[in-house]
Amino acid sequence: MTDATADYAAWIGRREITDDELALAPALAAAATLDDTATRFAKGSPLPPLWHWFYFLPRAAQAQLDVDGHPQRGGFMPPIPYPRRMFAGARMRFHRPLLIGQPARREAVIRDVRQKSGRSGSLAFVSVLCRFYQDDVLCIEEEQDIVYREPGAVVARPSVIEWPPVEHGTWSHIVTPDPKLLFRFSALTFNAHRIHYDRPYAVDEEGYPGLVVHGPLTAVLLIELLRKNSLRPVVSFSFRGLAPLFDLAPFRIVCAGEDGQMSLEAQAPDGVVAMSARAELMPL
């Protein structure tokens, strides 16, 4: 197997700058997709945490898309040949909100490229540091973990159990990830990865039992649960994807904590923790 560190060392330190006007329309579309009827968005309104993912989007030409719907590799991201690509996790700090309708800039740099072998085959990890500025002031710092892996075994359809009751003081919500939600989130993020909307491709080509829920969608739903139940701003957030979720059955998101230190997770229909996250709230 190719040594990723040796082959892709030239990509470490590679930079990309993306400007965006932060138009109002994507925020309104995101609010509709997430059933947020309470927040009023206008020019000058702050973007909720993680909603920067609906901006600064890559716009590869249709002819530049690969068979799986991702842009062909070898531009900013290294041309790692493993077919399965996942946004596996991130760590971020929110210094100040990005404001709708004001120009902003995203500066990204590849921090590291590593490869290792695991029980499911060979994997490559790409660490990308993103900084977001408005009026030359740093607003958000985000370090992303992008994972590429070889094709693996067919993924079994998850069983469905009855979740145990949540503890007192825990916020929870049941999410039904139907194809409409997945399609709209793909549109919001200009993501043509076929595992999220093309069921024959997801099942027959990549071995999944159904359509795959976007990792970023799960992360957004987690932080939205926190935002709807607490008025305190989020100053840091991190998440890690642990298992895939599918459109085959509802999943549960939960949030609990004290003194502004919050633990969140997405629980699959079979009770497995599919994503874990932590958030820090602004002190009172």
50, 180: one domain:
no
Last residue of a domain, one of 103, 128, 152: 152
CATH number at residue 71: 3.10.129.10
User: What is the chain's alpha carbon radius of gyration, rounded to the nearest angstrom?
Assistant: 19
Tokens of 179: 């194809």
Give the whole-number percent of the chain exceeding pLDDT 70: 96
CB–CB of 228/220 below 8 Å? Answer: no
- Check residue 127 and give its pLDDT: 95
Model confidence pLDDT, tens digit, residues 33-91: 999 999 999 999 999 999 999 999 988 889 988 888 888 776 788 888 887 888 999 99
- Check residue 1 and give its pLDDT: 38
104, 171: one domain:
no
Which of 175, 169, 143 lies closest to 239 in space, CA to CA? Answer: 143
In sequence order, which residues have a C-beta less than 8 Å from that of residue 209 and are 6 or more positions away? 155, 156, 157, 158, 203, 246, 248
219, 268: one domain:
yes
Q: Is the dihedral of CA 153, 157, 162, 167 positive or negative?
A: positive
Model confidence pLDDT, tens digit, residues 167-213: 988 999 999 999 999 999 999 999 999 999 999 999 999 999 999 99
Stretch 142-170: mean pLDDT: 90
Computed over every residue of the chain, the mean pLDDT equals 92
Last residue of a domain, one of 117, 136, 152: 152
Which of 206, 241, 202 lies closest to 221 in space, CA to CA? Answer: 241
Q: Rounded to an integer, what distance in angstroms lies between the CA atom of residue 160 and that of residue 68?
A: 29
Ramachandran assignment for 22, one of left (phi > 0), alpha (psi -120 to 50 degrees), beta (any other) = left
73, 196: one domain:
no
115, 235: one domain:
no
Range 183-195 burial, b when 16+ CB lie within 10 A, else e: ebbbebbebbbbb
Last residue of a domain, one of 152, 183, 200: 152
Instruction: Say how many domains are in the chain.
Output: 2
Q: Rounded to an integer, what distance in angstroms lies between the CA atom of residue 226 and that of residue 106?
A: 25
Q: Is the dihedral of CA 252, 257, 50, 86 positive or negative?
A: negative
Residue 176 lies in domain = 153-284
Q: At residue 99, does pLDDT exceed 70? A: yes
41, 143: one domain:
yes
Which of 131, 109, 145, 140 lies closest to 47 in space, CA to CA? Answer: 140
Q: At residue 264, does pLDDT exceed 60? A: yes
